[in-house]
Structure 1
C-alpha cells in the first residue's frame, strides 16, 4: 500500500525538487513523525532533513505571536472587562468566566474567517435592540444592561486584541488574522517552497495565506480526495475540496493535485452492532486477536476511537500477544484517582464553614491516598476515626472535634481539615503540602509506586500553574473561583503515554488520524452524536448571522468528520466499524448516518453483524449452605448461650439470614444516622416507659400515678435519645419530628392507660424489661439448648396476668391470631408476632409458673386505638370460636412447634436453604 505521504514525496522528487530546501506544513505534529519515516524510505541518499511543522506553528511564526493557554487568555480578557466596565456593574471572575469562554470562541471564529469586527458586532447589537424594541422607553434595568453588553462587544474585542498583541501572545484566530496581514511581506522576503499536504477544511485566513503563497510560486498544495467524493455534489466528504477547486483562482491555470481512485478498490468492510461501550472494547479485543493470528506485525493497523472515553476499556481488552503498542492520545488527568482527592478537598472547603459534613470527612479519610497516611504500627487510625463517627452519629464535625475523637495527634488531620478561609493562596499552599506528604509516604513505602509518583508530579505541575496565575493576576478572589480555574486546567491536561510511534498497533482519536493511512482500520463508536457529533451551538452568534457571514455551523462540522471518516477508508483494505446498539442520548444515539451511507452507496460488499454477549445459562436456584462439622459446633455454642425469639423468627423468614447473622456474625452496614432510625426510636420509647413505670413496680396503678408521669415525658425522652443517639442533633429537621413523635407515642400510651383506669379496670405492674433465660427439654438433641429474651412488661389486668410486647410500628389484630399450630413456624409475615409473644409467655411460665389462664399480646403505638392486641387462637379464618386466653395446653402446643423448629435448625442433614422472599 502506497500512503498519501509517500505519493507526495515521490511526486516532489519526480519534479526535481531538493527535499532539504522545502518546508512541509501539515495539519498536525503527529503527521510529521510519519513524514520523516517516509522520507527515510523514499530518499536513497544522505540529505539534510527538511523543515516539518504544523500549520499552527507556521502561522505563529508568520504572525510573530505565540499561542497561549485558554486560562491565560481568560485572565487577560478579565483585565479588559474590568478596565471597560464600571465597578458597580462588574461581575466576579467565576460568573464572568462562564460566558466569557463562549465569547472568546466567537472572537476566535470571527478572526479565523476574517470577518470585519466592527460590522458583525454592530449587526449583533442591532439585532438584540430589535428583539427588545418598544415604542415606550420603559425598559427594565436588566434589559438596559443586556443591550449595553452587546454595544460593548466591539470595544471589548478592540481593547483585548490590542492588549494581547502588545504582550506578543494571542488566541488562534487573532494569530491567523495577524498572519494574513503579514503574508505579503513574507512572500517578498522569502524564497523557500512550502508544501501543504493533507488539508481539507480551511478557514478564510488559511485559504488566504496558502493562495498568496501559491500566487507567488512559493508553495505546492496536495489534496487527498477521492473521485467518488469530489464528483458527487452532495457528498459531504468532498464539500470543502469542491469549494477550494471551484473558488481558488490558482486552479484555473494549474493542476489540482490530487483526485485519487483508491476508495472504489476492493475492501473487506465489516460492521458490528455491539451493545454498550464495554461491549465495543471487548469486540475490538476479539478482532485484534483474529488479526494477530494472520499477521503478527500490526504496523499498518490502527484503532480509531470515536469516543476517546473508550481508551482504558480498549487497553484492558487488547490481547496479551500484542507487544508493540503506540497510543497517540493522552490519558485525561481528571480520570486518575488523585483527581478525586482534590475534587473532594475543594468540595469540602468551598462551603467556607468550620464544621464539615460527616460524608465529606469520611470520603477524605477513606481516600486511597489519605488513609495510608494515618497508619502507625499496623493500625489505621483513619478507619478507627470513621468508626467513631458512625458509632456516635456525628453528622457535623469541626477540626477540633476530629482531634478530640482521633486517637493520634496526626498533622495530616490538621492539614486536610484546616479552614482555607476562602483564600486561594492558602488553598494552593495547602495542596502543595498535601502532595509533599503523599510523596514522602510513597518514597517510604517502597512498593513500586512509580505511577502514583507520576500522578503526583503532574498535579504538582498543575498547582504550580495555578500558583503562577494567582501571582500574575489578582482575579482569583475565593475558593469557588479557584476551583473553576482548577477544573478548566484539569480538563485540558493529559498523562501522556510513552511508546514507539512507528511500530506496532496504533491507537488514536479521529483527529490524530489526519494525513495517515493504514491497511487495517478499526473504528469504534460510529453513532449519531459522536461521529458526527451533531448539532450544537455554543455561541452568542445566531445561526442565521453565521450563515450570512460564512461562519461555520454544525453542517460544516459534520462535513469535517465525514471527510476524516471516509479518508480512513480510502486506502484501507480491511475496515471494522463498530457502533453501540443501545441508543443513549447522553453518549450518542442510533447508528451513524455514515454506516447508512456506506450501505446505500452500494460500492462495497458490506458484512453487517449484530454482536451479542455470551451469557452463561444459569439455573435459577436458591443458595444452600451445607452444615459442616464446624457449623454444627457453632450451632451448639449458640444453643448453649440461648436462642432469642427474634433469631428464631429470622430463621423462619430466611434460613440464610440466620446463617449470616448468627453464625458468620455479619451485621448490617453501620452508618451515621442523620435521621433517627426506626429501631433507635423504638429503643427510646421502650426505655422511657420503663423509667416512668419503674417507681410503681409491684403496685396497683391509680390515675394519679399515671398523671405524675406525664410531666416527665419530655425530659425522659430527651435523656434516652441523648444516650442512644450519642451526639446526633435532635433540635432541627427530621430528627426534631422524630423526637416529637416519640413523645407523642409515650403521651398517647399514658392517655390510654388513664382511660383504662377511669373505666374501673385495675392494673398492677409485675415486671418491666424482664430478662428471661430457660433451658429447653429436647431429648432429641444431645446438647444444652436455651431460650432467652427480654419481656417489655408483665402486669395483672383485672386479676389476669398479661405479657405485653411494645411495637413502635403498626401491628394489626390479624397478625396476632393463629388457626393451625403448624403455621406459627412456617409463615414469617403472618405469624412472627404470635411466635414472639408466645415465646415470652413460655419462658416466663417456665421461670415461675403462672396462675392460668393468662393473656399475651402487643401494644402497637401506631395502632393505639385498638388497645391491647391479644394473641388469639381461632378455629377458622372468619367466624367460629376464638380464644384469647392462654392456658398450659396452649403453651405445650407452642412448645411442640418450637421444638420442631430448633431440631430442624440443629439437624446436620437439613442444610440452610435460601427462601424466596415475598
Structure 2
C-alpha cells in the first residue's frame, strides 16, 4: 500500500522539484512527522530537510501575530467589556466567562471567513430590534429590555475595541490571525518570489485559507494536492467531497491547471467488519479482541491505527490492550483532568467554594483520605488523619471549623492551616496555598523516597497550571472570588494534557479523528461510530442565528457533518481491513444509534461487509452459601464465648443467620460507627430506654403513685436532652429532622407516662421490682465439658396487681402476634416471627433460674409505636385461628419447654461437627 504522502513526494520528484527548497504545508503537525519519514524513503542521496509546517503555523508566521490561549483571551476581552459597559449593568467575571466563550467563537468564525464586521453586527442588531419590536417601542421599557437591546447594539463596538486591543499587543485568536495574514499576504508574496509551497491533504477551507492558497497558486508560488476518491467526487450527493467539488468548480486556477488528485482507491477490495457493542467499556474490550486477532494473523500491528471518535475511550482502550502489544504510539495525550491530583483539587475547591467557616464532615474525610493527603499526616509513626476521622465518628461531628480540626490534629497543625484556612477571602493567598500544597506533597515524596516519575510529572504540570493562574490574576486582576477562580481553573485544566512517550512511526497508533488527517493505514479500527459522535450532529452554540450564517456563508452543522464525513471516508480509502465499533446502548447524551456512515456503507454495496452485535461473555457463577467449618481454634473461641455468656440478641442473631453470629462473636467484627447526620433508630431507642431508667430506678421496691409519674413528666425535656447529648455527642438536635426525632423521643416518654397514670387511676397497683437489671446464669448442659452461661439486661420487672411482669421496651412497632407461639419447635427456627417471644422468655428463664422471681409470671413487650395496646404479653396458643385458646401465664411447664429448645440451640452452636452455614436472606 502506498500512502497519499508518498504519492505526493513521488510526483514532485518525477517533476524534478528540489524537495529541500519546498515549504510543505499540512493540515496538522502530526502529518509532518510522517512526511519526514516518507521523504527518507524516496531520496537516494543526502539532502537538507525541507520546511514542513502546519497551516496554522504558516498563517501565524504570515500575520506576525502570536496566538494566545482561550483563557487569556477571556481576560483580555473582559478588559474591553469593562471599559464599554456601565458598572450597574456589568457582569462579574464568572458569569461573563460563560457567554463570552460563545461570543469569542463567533468573532473567530467571522474573521476566518473574512465577513465585514460592521455588516454582520448591524444585521444582528437589526434582527433583534425586529424580533422585539413591541418591546423596543414601549415608552416605559424595563431595565431588562434596555439591557438586552443594549447588549446586541454593543457587539460591534466590543469586537472593534477588542481586536484593536489585541493588535496593539501583537497577539490574537485564530480568526484574527487569519484576517491579518490575508491583509499582509501581498507583502509576503513580494518578499518570497522564489519560494515554493506545497499544500497537501486539505479539505474544508475557510475563506482566509482559500484566499491565501489561491493567491500563491496564481503567482505560481504553490502547488496543491487534494486527496479525494472518484466515488465521492462523482456523486453530487456524497458529503465526503462536498468541499472538494466546490473548490474544483469555483477556483479560477483549475480552469487552466490540472486538479491533483482524484484517485481510485476506495473501490478496491476491502474487508469491513462492523460490531455493535453495548456500552463504551464493551467497545474497548472488543477493540482488545480485534487487536489480538490481528496480532495472531499478521504477527505485527505495524501500519495499524485505532481512531477514537469519542476521545473519552482512551483510558478504557489502553486498559484493554493485549499484553503482547509491542511498539505503541498515542498522539492524543492523557487529559490532566483525569489524573488523581485533579481529584484532590476538585475536593479542595468544593470544600471552600460555598463554606461559611464550617466544613461538612464527609468533605473533610474525603480530603484527609485522599492518596496524596493521607501520607502528609503520618508523623512520627502516628496517623493523624485516622485520629481526626475517628474523632469525627466517635463524637458524631457533622460540621467542623478549622480551629476544631487543629485542636484534634495536634502536631499536624501546619497541614490543617494549608488545607482549611485562609481560603475564599484572598485569591493570591488561595493560589499560594495551592502551590504550597503541591510543594508539600513533593517534599514528602522526596523525604520518604516514595515518589515515582509519574507522580512528579503530575505535580510539575499542576505547578505549571497554578503558575499560569497566578500570572493571569496578577496581570489582569479580574478574579475576585473563589467561584471565578474555580471556573478559570477548570477552563485551563480541560485544555491540558500529559504527552505519552512512544514510537511515533512504529507499531500501533492510537489517535483522535483530527490527528488522522493526511495519514493512511492498512488496518483501521474506528470506535464510537454513533450518531451524535460521528458525525457530531446539530449544535448551534452561537449568538449568530442559522439564517444569518447562511446569508453570510458561515459554516453550519451541514458543513460540520461534511467535515466528519470526509475524515471518515478518507481513512477508509487506502485501508484494506476496517473495523468499526459502535455503542448499541442509550447513554446520557447518545441514543445508542449507529452512525449514518455505517448505513451508507451498507447501502453502497461496494465492499465485503459483515455486521454483528457483540454481547459480552458473562460467566455464570453459581451462587453458593458461605460455610465455615469449626476448626479447633474456632471451637476454642466458641468456648470463650459460651463461658462469657450468650445474650438473647446473640442467640437470635444466630437464628437469623449463623454467619452473622460467626462474624460478630468469633471474629469480633463490629459495624463501623459512622457519623449520624440524622438520629438513627437505635439511638432513639437508647435515649428512651435511658430516660425511663433514670425515672424509674430510684423507685425500686416501691409502689408507683400518680405523684411519682407527674414529677417524672416535669423532667422529660431535660432528661431526654441530657441523654441525646450523651449518646448523640456533638450532633445537632436543634433543627431539621433531628429536632423532630428529639420531639418524638419526648412524646414517646410522655405517652408512656400518661399510660401509667391511666393504669393507676383505674385502681391498678404497680410495684417496681427492678429496672435495667443484669442477669447471668449457668445452664446445665451435660453434653458439653465446659460451662455455658446466658446473660442479658431486663428493662423492667414490676408487680401488677400481684402478678410479676417482665417487660422489654421497643421503640419500633410490635404487634401482639409477634409474641405468640403455637409450636415450641418454631421458636428457634423462625427468626422473623418468634425472635421477640424468644427474647422475653429468655429473660423470664434467667430470672427464674437465678431465683429473682417466683412462677407463674407474665412477660411481654411495650411498643412505643403501639402504646394503646399496653403490654403485649407472651402467649402460648393451642392452635392458630381467631378462636385459639391463649395462655399468658409463664409456668414451670412453659419454661421447661423453652429450656429444651434453648439447650438444643446452644448445643447446635457449640457442636464442632456442625459448621456455620449462611442462610439465604
TM-score, scaled relative to structure 1: 0.98
Residue 188 (structure 1) aligns with: 190
CA contact (8 A) 2:775 2:846 kept: yes
Q: State the alpha-carbon separation in 2 of the partners of residues 809 and 430 from structure 1.
A: 50
Residue 214 (structure 2) aligns with: 211
1:81-480 matched pairs, under 5 angstroms? 81-134=81-134, 136-191=138-193, 192-480=195-483
CA contact (8 A) 2:531 2:590 kept: no
Alpha-carbon deviation of 1:421?
4.1
> Any idea what the Cα deviations from partners look like across 1:864-905, whole Å, max 9, x if unmatched?
111111111112222121111111111111111111111122
1:413-812 matched pairs, under 5 angstroms? 413-586=416-589, 589-812=592-815
Alpha-carbon deviation of 1:392?
0.5
Q: State the alpha-carbon separation in 2 of the partners of residues 744 and 806 from structure 1.
A: 15
Q: State the alpha-carbon separation in 2 of the partners of residues 262 and 724 from structure 1.
A: 79
Q: Tell me the secondary structure at the aligned position of residue 476 of structure 1.
A: coil
Q: State the alpha-carbon separation in 1 of the partners of residues 628 and 411 from structure 2.
A: 43
Change in 2 beyond 3 A, CA 1:864/1:616: same
Aligned residues: 917
Q: State the alpha-carbon separation in 2 of the partners of residues 562 and 663 from structure 1.
A: 66
User: Does 701-710 or 41-50 show the bigger shift?
Assistant: 41-50
Alpha-carbon deviation of 1:448?
4.7
Q: State the alpha-carbon separation in 2 of the partners of residues 837 and 874 from structure 1.
A: 16
Residue 895 (structure 1) aligns with: 899
CA contact (8 A) 1:118 1:154 kept: yes
User: Does 613-622 or 465-474 show the bigger shift?
Assistant: 613-622
User: Does 535-544 or 195-204 show the bigger shift?
Assistant: 535-544
Choose from 843, 846, 849 the match for 1:846: 849
User: Does 773-782 or 505-514 show the bigger shift?
Assistant: 773-782
Alpha-carbon deviation of 1:474?
1.0
Q: Tell me the secondary structure at the aligned position of residue 279 of structure 1.
A: helix
Alpha-carbon deviation of 1:849?
5.0
Q: State the alpha-carbon separation in 2 of the partners of residues 227 and 585 from structure 1.
A: 39
Q: State the alpha-carbon separation in 2 of the partners of residues 288 and 76 from structure 1.
A: 48
Q: State the alpha-carbon separation in 1 of the partners of residues 548 and 161 from structure 2.
A: 24
Q: State the alpha-carbon separation in 2 of the partners of residues 841 and 17 from structure 1.
A: 109
CA contact (8 A) 1:768 1:794 kept: yes
Q: Tell me the secondary structure at the aligned position of residue 859 of structure 1.
A: strand
CA contact (8 A) 1:352 1:422 kept: no
> Any idea what the Cα deviations from partners look like across 1:649-679, whole Å, max 9, x if unmatched?
1111122221222222222232111111111
CA contact (8 A) 2:384 2:412 kept: no
> Any idea what the Cα deviations from partners look like across 1:138-177, whole Å, max 9, x if unmatched?
4322122111100100010000011001111111111111
Q: Tell me the secondary structure at the aligned position of residue 578 of structure 1.
A: strand
CA contact (8 A) 1:344 1:360 kept: yes
Q: Tell me the secondary structure at the aligned position of residue 534 of structure 1.
A: coil
CA contact (8 A) 2:848 2:855 kept: no
Q: State the alpha-carbon separation in 2 of the partners of residues 840 and 825 from structure 1.
A: 15
Alpha-carbon deviation of 1:272?
1.4
Alpha-carbon deviation of 1:475?
0.1
Q: Tell me the secondary structure at the aligned position of residue 53 of structure 2.
A: strand
Residue 46 (structure 2) aligns with: 46
Which residues of structure 2 form unaligned runs of 5+?
Answer: none
The alignment status of 1:23 with 2:23, answered yes or no, reads yes
Q: State the alpha-carbon separation in 1 of the partners of residues 828 and 540 from structure 2.
A: 67
> Any idea what the Cα deviations from partners look like across 1:545-585, whole Å, max 9, x if unmatched?
22222111122111111111111111011111111222224
Q: State the alpha-carbon separation in 2 of the partners of residues 849 and 319 from structure 1.
A: 74
Q: Tell me the secondary structure at the aligned position of residue 408 of structure 1.
A: helix
Q: State the alpha-carbon separation in 2 of the partners of residues 673 and 28 from structure 1.
A: 57
Q: State the alpha-carbon separation in 2 of the partners of residues 594 and 625 from structure 1.
A: 58
Alpha-carbon deviation of 1:98?
0.7
Residue 883 (structure 1) aligns with: 887
> Any idea what the Cα deviations from partners look like across 1:336-372, whole Å, max 9, x if unmatched?
0001111111111112422111111111111100100
CA contact (8 A) 2:858 2:888 kept: yes
User: Does 309-318 or 10-19 show the bigger shift?
Assistant: 309-318
CA contact (8 A) 1:25 1:52 kept: yes
Cα RMSD over matched residues? 1.3
Q: State the alpha-carbon separation in 1 of the partners of residues 848 and 557 from structure 2.
A: 84
Change in 2 beyond 3 A, CA 1:115/1:588: farther
Choose from 887, 897, 913 the match for 1:909: 913
Residue 69 (structure 1) aligns with: 69
Q: Tell me the secondary structure at the aligned position of residue 532 of structure 1.
A: coil
TM-score, scaled relative to structure 2: 0.98
Alpha-carbon deviation of 1:630?
2.2
CA contact (8 A) 1:522 1:576 kept: yes
CA contact (8 A) 2:877 2:886 kept: yes
Q: State the alpha-carbon separation in 2 of the partners of residues 388 and 573 from structure 1.
A: 65
Consecutive aligned runs of 4 or more in structure 1 exceeding 6 Å deviation? none
Q: State the alpha-carbon separation in 2 of the partners of residues 525 and 87 from structure 1.
A: 48
Q: Tell me the secondary structure at the aligned position of residue 483 of structure 1.
A: helix
Q: Tell me the secondary structure at the aligned position of residue 266 of structure 2.
A: coil
Q: State the alpha-carbon separation in 1 of the partners of residues 708 and 372 from structure 2.
A: 61
Residue 8 (structure 1) aligns with: 8
Alpha-carbon deviation of 1:409?
4.0
Q: State the alpha-carbon separation in 2 of the partners of residues 258 and 251 from structure 1.
A: 12
Q: State the alpha-carbon separation in 2 of the partners of residues 543 and 875 from structure 1.
A: 84
> Any idea what the Cα deviations from partners look like across 1:440-480, whole Å, max 9, x if unmatched?
11111223522111100000000000011011111011111
